[in-house]
Amino acid sequence: MIKNIITRFLFQNKSEELNLLFKIYYLIIFLFTFTILTSLIFSHSIYLKHNVSDRQDFINMPVEEKYKKKINQNDFSINKILTSEILIERLDHQLFDIEYIKKSKKVPDVIIAKFPDDFKNIYSSKLRKNLFIKVALPIIVKENEKLVSQNIEIEKLKNKFNFLKRSEALWLRKKMEEYEVNDQSIGELLMRIDAIPVSIALSQAAVESGWGTSRFASEGNALFGQYVWGEGKGIVPEERSESEIHEIKSFKNLKSSVSSYMKNLNSNFHYNEFRLNRFVMRKNGIKIDGIELVEYLYNYSTDKDYLEKIKLIIKSNDLDDFDDVRIDKFSIQLDQIDII
C-alpha cells in the first residue's frame, strides 16, 4: 500500500515537471516566432516608407542620387505648356542642366511639340539659348538614334543578302524609295541613312530660326528654313520678291521639322559630298566631326557667309560637346508635351 502511494507520488511529480518543461518549450518557440514575424513586418514597413519617400522627396534628394533616379512623373504632370515661364519651370531640373548634359552625355527623353508663342519675349539671350537647346537637343538626338538603328539593321541585311526574308527585302526596297536610291545599292543606302552631327543640326536650327524666335518657328515649327514650292504648302516669307514662288515649309510639330531636315541632308543630291565624307569617317573609325562636315553644306544657303556663321555658332556655344550625347533610357519617357 505504502509502495503504491510512493509510486503515484513520484509519477505525479514527474508529470508536473514534464508539463512545466513543455510549457517553457512552447513559450520559447512562441517568443522566437513572434520576434521573427515582428522583424519581418517592421522591415517591410521601412521598405514601403523608403519607397514612398523616394517618390515624394525626389526634388530634395542629394544631387548625386538624383542622377541615378528617374525624373518624377509629377515634374511633367501638366500636358499643356502655354507660356515660356511654365516651360522654363518644367525644364528647371538637374537632368536638363546644360553642363550636366555635356558631362554625362545623356539627355532626358522629353519631347516638346513646339515653342511657346511668347518664346521670343524672353529677355535674357543666355536663358533663351539654353532653353532652345533643352527643347531641340532631345528631338535631334532621338531622331539620330532612329537613323543609326536603321543603319545597323541595313548592315545586317547586307551581310545576309542572299538569304533575305520577303519582309526584309520589302523593307529595304521601301527605304531605297524613301531615300531616293535609284540604283538599288545597299551601299548607297548605308551612306544615306545615318546620323547628322548634333552640333551641325543645333547650329543650323539656331541660325535658321533665330534661336527659336523666328516667325517660321512660331507659326510653323520650322527650325531649318526648308523651301517648298506650291501655293499654300508653307509660310510665305515677307521678304520674298514677286518673281519668287517658294514658301517656307511648315510642320505640325518640332519633331517633324527635325525629321524632314535630316531626310533632306540624307537624300538630296546637293549634299552628296557631305554624305560621302561622313561615310568615310564612319568606316575608318574616325569621330564624326561637325566642324569639318559643315564645309560640305555649301549648297544649303545662298548666303556666302553661311558656313562661317554655322561654324561660329558651334564654336562659340561649344555645341560639339553634344555630338556624342545619347537619350537617357532611364529617364522619363513621355508623349509630346503640347504647347498651344
| Segment 62-80 mean pLDDT | 42
Which range (76-90, 91-105, 117-131, 239-253) has the least confidence?
76-90
For residue 11, the model assigns a pLDDT of 44
What pLDDT score does 45 carry? 45
Residue 120 clears pLDDT 60, i.e. is over it? yes
Going by pLDDT thresholds of 50, 70 and 90, the confidence category of residue 90 is confident
pLDDT at residue number 38: 58
> Between residues 219 and 243, which one has the greater pLDDT?
219
pLDDT averaged over the chain? 80
What is the pLDDT at residue 248? Answer: 87
The mean pLDDT value for 4-33 works out to 54
SS (H, E, C) the chain: CHHHHHHHHHHHHHHHHHHHHHHHHHHHHHHHHHHHHHHHHHHHHHHHHHHHHHHHCHHHCCHHHHCCCCCCHHHHCCCECCCHHHHHHHCCCHHHCHHHHHHHCEEECCCECCCCCCHHHCCCHHHHHHHHHHHHHHHHHHHHHHHHHHHHHHHHHHHCHHHCCHHHHHHHHHHHHHCCCCCCCHHHHHHHCCCCCHHHHHHHHHHHHCCCCCHHHHHHCCCCCCEEECCCCEECCCCCCCCCCEEEECCCCHHHHHHHHHHHHHHCHHHHHHHHHHHHHHHCCCCCCHHHHHCCCCCCCCCCCHHHHHHHHHHHCCHHHHCCCEEECCCCCCCCEECC
Q: How far is CA 38 from CA 30, 33, 42, 46, 48, in A?
A: 12, 9, 6, 12, 15
| Confidence check: pLDDT of 27 > 70 | no
pLDDT, residue 31, reads 67
The top-scoring range by mean pLDDT among 82-86, 162-166, 181-185, 313-317 is 313-317
pLDDT score for 247 = 83
The mean pLDDT value for 311-317 works out to 97
Q: Indicate the range of 38-47, 102-111, 234-243 predicted with least confidence.
A: 38-47
Q: What is the mean pLDDT of residues 131-147?
A: 97
Q: What is the mean pLDDT of residues 73-81?
A: 46
pLDDT value of position 73: 37
The pLDDT, as a whole number, for residue 150 is 97
pLDDT, mean of residues 37-42: 53
Which of the pair, 22 or 323, is modelled with greater confidence?
Answer: 323
Res. 193 pLDDT band, cuts 50 70 90: very high
Q: What is the pLDDT of residues 259-272, one digit of tens each?
A: 999 999 999 999 99
